[in-house]
Amino acid sequence: MKLFRFLIITLIVFIGIFLVWPLTLKSSPTSWFFYDDAGEVLYQESAVIASPTEYPKFLLESLVMLEDQEFYRHGGVDFKALLRAALQNARSNEVLSGASTLTMQLARLEFLPRSQRNWWYKIRQAFFALKLEQKLTKDEILNRYLAQVNLGNGAYGFENAARRYFSKDLSQLSIGETTILLAIVQNPSRFNPITNPERSLVRRNFILSRLETVEIINSSEYKYWVNTPIKLKPEINNVITAPHFVFWVKSQLAFLDGKTPEVHVYTTLDKKLYEDSLVIVRETIKRNEKEKKITNGAVVVLDKANRIKVMIGSLNFFDDRIDGAVNLATAYRQSGSVLKPFLYSLALDNGFSPATALTDLKTIFSSGYLPRNFDINQENGAVRFREALANSYNIAAVDLLNQIGIESFYYFLEQLGLNLKQSSDSLGLSMILGASESSLLNLTQAYSVFTHQGALNDLTFINSVKNKAGDTLYEPPVSVPRKVLSSASAEWGQHVLSDNAARWKNFSRGNSLELPFASGAKTGTSQAFRDNWVLGFSPRYTVGVWVGNADGTPMVSSSGMQGAGPMWQGVMQRLHRAGSVPAFKYSSDRRLSTACRRPEILVCGEKVSVFLTEKEYVRLNETSRKSEKHVLEIVYPAEGDTFVEGSDLLIQLRGPNQQGLTYTFDEEIFVGPIFNNLPLGRHFIEVRSLDGETVKVHIEVEKL
């Protein structure tokens, strides 16, 4: 009885509130103003609700069919659908359906734009939907919805979106273009045709399929449009600097829309640096366009505090021939070899020494994976960390990843904020050679750890956000650095990547990574030359560069050094042209020493640099002293090792008696330690010194 009374009282109160509650409709969305770090204007956008007297019939029919088929029959709320959705969500313990009618969606746009989504939100949304149905006709509700719905990239309403994406009036759009806009409705970020063109296309084709099913379009129209690519032609209603950056920042501030008539966003961008960097990008692309078939590039510059000073998303935002509106600074692309420095640095934190021997010989790993170096005919035997990283040896990197473990490295990349789309299982060992996808922005942020003693700072791109009166609407939270690497390991990575001489075994002297001031960098090239990368740093900036084609068309034999290198070098020179650049500082106990280039070989004619902590230095010397007492020993290959038919083998030894050695392969005498083109079968290798000492090992050679 008490429960019944409570329900009756609640119903009476609800009806009373419903009858007297005033309904004030929104007049217009927010106007936006963007400024650079010095207060220079980047862009101004005056947002006005467009309310055409007549919307295209195709748009009206399609929207109602997709979003609310009962629109003309319900009173603002579809209570059956709400109950069904509530039960479905309760059973699954997650939100699978909201059951919002078009009137409820308009209520959200008008009265609840930034409210937290929960059961109380749903009650209020239903309340306002019922009030809207009481005050407006169905056509008025539909018109207001069509004029206000968020369609991404600062476009509110279908009329504005038609101009923003296609530079046309809404009445001029084709079926294919209209369905692109309809695709955005469900999720303006996920299905944005500029930032997520592939997802947008999938959603558009799904909508076309549904429209054919209900006979809004016929089968011929469906077949035509589902196979027709849509070309965007973005329109900006006034002059804009750094459009990719401006619209990316605006998407991060979507929660402020509708709260005030004007929003003034003071960003961290340096307008002059941006404009000068864009000139470098365009000149570099122009030099390589014909020969290398390169049409696009992107640049990200972060200062010491990881404030974004430059974000160039493409060669030209307004050039639809190169998909210029796609932000290639935030787009995910195959990363090539630029993840390798993170692997080596992580290995040091996991107890490895930079003097550790890695195998850079043709090897089939346990998963069946057979990596090859950039030059498929190149193998380097046993190498130390510095040479392997500086010269980007692929097989050595896979050998190290195999030892560390795929899951451990994958987790570390997530700690760096790379947010890889693929799972560790699907990537496997190929993860380290660029099968994974990353964005230029995230990679540039991650590379900053090498000059921040292993600490990762959050990205900052806003100084403050104010309203027309100058009141602060939003300030970014204070960034608290997260330690992801030890200082010693981060500084080792910095030291190697800034060592020009260490690269000279695989790259020419005077290459595009060399600068007359303290700097370090790593190149990357993805499969089939689809992506060129250079990620690098100085004591003042972290700079990332990507070069390629937005649609994934391969370039012509363009490596990271050739394609992205000159652009990175040009941007770095521009950033540091005023004043001297300080040298790198090392705070850990690492010190520069030397060791034999070939690990485990004591009598050597070639020494290389190693950057060791005190413990690693002592360990290296102890190993050397112990090894001096050893008799002649075959270090590589080990007894019973398996190789692929046709591969080459370099015998590696340990011990003092290494003068005048004789090498025998199945009783055939060879002059040196290299055996080329290994044949199938079981084979015996023997090494004999001048004083008669003999060591033997057998190997197996199998087909690939």
For residue 678, give the CATH number of its domain: 2.60.40.10
Same domain? For 286 and 213 the reply is no
CA distance from start to end of the chain: 81
CATH number at residue 198: 1.10.3810.10
Q: Say if residues 566 and 284 touch (Cβ distance below 8 Å).
A: yes
Q: Please give the structure tokens belonging to residue 298.
A: 């992107």
Same domain? For 79 and 148 the reply is yes
Segment 658-661 long-range contacts (CB within 8 Å, at least 24 positions apart): 658/601, 658/603, 658/632, 658/689, 659/603, 659/689, 659/690, 660/689, 660/690, 661/687, 661/688, 661/689, 661/690
Predicted local distance difference test score (pLDDT) of residue 84: 65
> Strand, coil or helix: what is 554?
coil
> Strand, coil or helix: what is 354?
coil
Please report, rounded to a whole number, the percentage of residues in the chain having pLDDT higher than 70. Answer: 87
- Is residue 263 one of the residues assigned to a domain? no
Predicted local distance difference test score (pLDDT) of residue 609: 84
Same domain? For 539 and 679 the reply is no
The average pLDDT across 668-688 equals 87
Q: Is the pLDDT of residue 383 over 70?
A: yes
Q: Is the pLDDT of residue 12 over 60?
A: no
Q: Report d(CA 531, CA 334) in Å as an integer.
A: 7
CATH number at residue 477: 3.40.710.10
Instruction: Note down the domain range covering 466.
Output: 274-575
How is residue 457 annotated by DSSP? P
Please report, for residues 352, 390, 496, the alpha-carbon distance to residue 506 in angstroms, rounded to integers and kept in the order given. Answer: 24, 9, 14
Predicted local distance difference test score (pLDDT) of residue 266: 97
Same domain? For 468 and 372 the reply is yes
Q: How many domains is the chain partitioned into structurally? A: 3
Same domain? For 125 and 184 the reply is yes
pLDDT in tens, 399-454: 999 999 999 999 999 999 998 888 888 888 999 988 889 999 999 999 999 999 99
Select from 176, 202, 229 the last residue of a domain. Answer: 229
Structure pTM? 0.69
Which residues are CB-neighbours of 687 under 8 A, at least 6 positions away?
A: 632, 634, 651, 653, 661, 662, 663, 664, 673, 694, 695, 696
Phi and psi, residue 695, nearest 5°: -130, 145
**Burial code of 543-576, b = ≥16 C-beta within 10 A, e = fewer?**
bbbbbbbbeeeebeebbbbbbbbbbbbbbbebbb
Please report, rounded to a whole number, the percentage of residues in the chain having pLDDT higher than 90. Answer: 40
Q: Report d(CA 390, CA 330) in Å as an integer.
A: 27
Q: Say if residues 304 and 71 touch (Cβ distance below 8 Å).
A: no
Q: Report d(CA 127, CA 33) in Å as an integer.
A: 34
**Among residues 573, 451, 556, which one has the least CA distance to residue 512?**
573
Same domain? For 325 and 474 the reply is yes
The secondary element (H helix, E strand) that includes residue 219 is helix 219-226
Confidence label for 127 from pLDDT (cuts 50, 70 and 90): confident
The average pLDDT across 53-61 equals 85
Rounded (10°) CA dihedral 103, 109, 111, 112: 110
Confidence label for 96 from pLDDT (cuts 50, 70 and 90): very low
Same domain? For 469 and 366 the reply is yes
Confidence label for 98 from pLDDT (cuts 50, 70 and 90): low
Q: Is the pLDDT of residue 272 over 80?
A: yes
Q: Report d(CA 500, CA 379) in Å as an integer.
A: 21
Q: Catalogue the E-assigned strands of 113-154.
A: none
Does the CA dihedral 318-320-322-324 come out positive or negative?
Answer: positive
Q: Report d(CA 145, CA 554) in Å as an integer.
A: 43
The secondary element (H helix, E strand) that includes residue 251 is helix 243-252
Q: Is the pLDDT of residue 314 over 90?
A: yes
- Is residue 237 one of the residues assigned to a domain? no
Q: Are strands 296-302 and 262-267 parallel, antiparallel or unpaired?
A: unpaired
Q: Is the pLDDT of residue 303 over 90?
A: yes
